[in-house]
Amino acid sequence: MRENGGQYSHAAMWAVLAHARLGNGDRAYGLFALLNPINHALTAKDADRYKVEPYVIAADVYSTAPHEGCGGWTWYTGSAGWMYRAGIEGILGLTRTGDELQFNPCLPKGWPEVTMTVTLGAFTLQVTVENNGTGRGVSRALLDDVEIGCDDGTVSLPISEGAHRLHLTLG
């Protein structure tokens, strides 16, 4: 029953990341929403078909009768890790490289704004991403109300102690 042409979550998350890296936030998020386990159990009928926990990703979602739509191999850390990376790194565009954070969001064009809080030890960063309809390419960045540079649509900043605010404008 495994790997029978149904959803294989590892590879599916790699497709989300690929679309994000290609700059297609609408497609990346569309796939992410399709794979999101909560969306497999929005109604009692859906949950009965899915048969597994809607708060963890399944390694597989079967496509062959009589198991069509049923999840399998839940609590599979590989699929969970790739889903985390697809959402945080691919769509929200947040990665950590050593002692720096990098931001290169690839959002759906219809999302007007995203906010997030990043906490790393004594470092707290409140982030607002303002989307002007393009979904990608940071054109302006303000750290604690002071403009900082953007390099090819990406913002990098050092992780330091204290509370900070970062405002990114896409486009």
- In tens, the pLDDT along 18-72 reads 999 999 999 999 999 999 999 999 999 999 999 999 998 888 888 888 888 999 8
**Average model confidence (pLDDT) across the chain:** 93
pTM of the full predicted structure? 0.90
C-alpha span between 81 and 49 (Å, rounded): 25
pLDDT value, residue 113: 98
Q: When comparing pLDDT for 8 and 92, which is higher?
A: 92
> How many residues appear in the chain?
171
Contact 16, 75 (CB under 8 A): no
CATH number at residue 152: 2.60.420.10
Domain membership of residue 104 as a residue range: 93-170
Least confident of 48-52, 58-62, 107-111, 133-137: 58-62
- The last residue of one of the domains, among 87, 103, 126, is 87
Same domain, residue pair 59 and 79: yes
149, 86 in Cβ contact below 8 A? no
Which H/E stretch holds residue 148? Answer: strand 146-148
Are 57 and 105 contained in the same domain? no
The total number of structural domains in the chain stands at 2
- Domain check: are 139 and 82 in the same one? no
81 and 128 housed in the same domain? no
The two three-digit tokens of residue 19, written as one number:
């679309």
Residue that terminates a domain, selected from 87, 112, 146:
87
The residue among 36, 52, 87 that closes a domain is 87
Looking at the structure, tell me whether residues 109 and 63 fall in a common domain.
no
The whole-number average pLDDT for the span 84-91 is 97
Lowest mean pLDDT among 6-15, 44-53, 108-117: 6-15
